Structure 1
Amino acid sequence: MTHKPTLAVKPGAVALMALMAATRFHHFGTPFALPDASLAIFFCAGLWLGGRYLFAMLLLEAGLIDYLAITKLGVSDFCVSKAYVFLIASYGAMWLGGKWCRQFAHLSLVSAGQQFMALVVSTSIAFLFSNGSFYWLSGRYPEGSWVQYIERVAMYYPPYLTHTLIYGVVIFALVSAAKSFLPAKTRQEAI
């Protein structure tokens, strides 16, 4: 009798996907909705979970949420343009930044600082992909200039970075706290 392999569902993947579903509808947040956590989600998924299938699933989820938000919930489609495809590179930068941080498995103040800096650098690269491609390729700024682009960077980069850092720190703290309550053998299985 042949035994079929089963696909294990990781609670961490489910939690990250649920967080994306809960926050992706508003990029900067509103008084009634949290800002988008997608960047931190891709970083944490790369850090703890890995796997190209999860990366693809998160991309599909992001696209589906955007589609539903625009077609069913009346969210503006202003940000959707031919530059939308560059979100793959943005999320890839976050994913790879998280994967790079796997080398800092031993939790210490130094490794936490290294992971934090990797999150900052990954977020900055993701911003350049998403914001730069939108500004220069979307067609929304036909008279675009470097001066105007720098003004837009000054306007959008701080909340982009801040929201991602806050989510990253909170997710990391919650996972660390949860892992501290688990027996050593169960810790790796939990994520």
Structure 2
Amino acid sequence: MSLNQTLAVKPGAVALMALMAATRFHHFGTPFALPDASLAVFFFAGLWLGGRYLFALLLMEAALIDYLAITKLGVSDFCVSKAYVFLIGSYGAMWLGGKWCRQFTVLSVATAAQRLMALVAATSIAFLFSNGSFYWLSGRYPNGSFAQYIERVAMYYPPYLTSTLIYGVVIFALVSAVKSLLGAKATREAI
């Protein structure tokens, strides 16, 4: 691959970066803001785009957004601790889950189910990295116990998984619809 191909702007990458920039300010959303789409962004970047440079660029974008949100927009810094570095593992799990799904190329109910299962598995692993590291390493729970951690999992895992699955289903549906429309248009033009 040439340097020009490596540096070429990819519309899909720009769209995913814009989605992260638009949603990263609130983990679970508010009445006025969508929940954070970062997990889905990393999953789809791994699935459709790949490349370690894009992965690094997305990590830098996430850190920059967090920095600006905290220092300029008054967002709480409660979640920023020495465990923050474990987000690399969380996003890596999503990225690798997406890359693993590249093998499912035929659009069918079976491949959609396999991609959905991969999205659930990657999101669950990402949760263990981010939530587990925060609970055990952040210093916010100095007297933490396994029972308390399980309570936190029960509280935070459902919205963590749900928002990522909603983004996943919506993005898969939109991309599939666009591909179908483009395929139909190409078929009409070929006739």
Query: Identity percentage over the alignment?
Result: 85
The equivalent of 2:29 in structure 1 is: 29
Distance 1:48 1:78 in 2: 33
TM-score by length of 1: 0.93
Normalized per residue, the structure richer in helix is 2
- Structure 2 residue 179 is the aligned partner of structure 1 residue 170: no
Aligned to 2:143: 143
**1:62 Cα deviation after fit:** 0.3
- What's the CA shift string for 1:142-178, capped at 9, x where partnerless? 0000010000000000000000000011011111111
Deviations 1:10-56 (A, max 9, x none): 11111000000000001111111000000011001100110001101
* Residues 174-183 or 62-71, more deviating: 174-183
1:56-115 deviations in Å (ceiling 9; x for gaps): 110000000000000000000000000000000000000000000000011111111000
Give the Cα–Cα distance (whole angstroms) in 2 for the partners of residues 147 and 179 of structure 1: 47
Provide the rounded CA distance (Å) in 1 between the counterparts of 2:170 and 2:3: 38
Q: Give the alignment of 1:27-106 within 5 angstroms.
A: 27-106=27-106
Tell which has more relative contact order, 1 or 2 (C-alpha 8 A, sep 6+).
Answer: 1
Aligned counterparts of 1:121 and 1:178: Cα–Cα separation in 2: 26
Which structure 2 segments of 5+ residues have no match?
Answer: 187-191
Structure 2 CA distance, aligned partners of 1:73 and 1:4?
Answer: 37
Matched position secondary structure for 2:4: coil
Q: Does 1:179 align with 2:174?
A: no
Note closer, same or farther for the CA distance 1:68–1:147 as it changes in structure 2 (3 Å cut).
same
CA distance in 2, matches of 1:108, 1:38: 26
Structure 1 unaligned blocks of 5 or more: 187-191
Distance 1:183 1:157 in 2: 38
Cα distance per residue 1:99-138 (max 9 Å; x no partner):
0000001111111100000000000000000000000000
Q: What is aligned with 1:189?
A: none
SS of residue in 1 equivalent to 2:76: coil
| AA at the equivalent of 1:30 | T
Residue number in structure 2 paired with 1:18:
18
RMSD of aligned residue pairs (Cα, Å)? 1.5
Deviates more, 1:159-168 or 1:8-17: 8-17
**Residues 98 and 4 of structure 1: CA distance in aligned 2, closer, same or farther (over 3 Å):** closer
**Distance (whole Å) between structure 2 residues aligned to residue 141 and residue 37 of structure 1:** 27
- Matches of 2:179 and 2:60, distance apart in 1: 29
Letter in 2 for 1:64: L
Deviating 4+ runs (over 6 angstroms): none
The size of the alignment, in residue pairs, is 183
Residue 181 (structure 1) shift: 2.2
Alpha carbons of structure 1 residues 181 and 149: separation in structure 2 relative to 1, 3 Å: same
CA 1:4–1:25 in 2, change beyond 3 Å: closer, same or farther? closer
Residue type of the alignment partner of 1:116: L
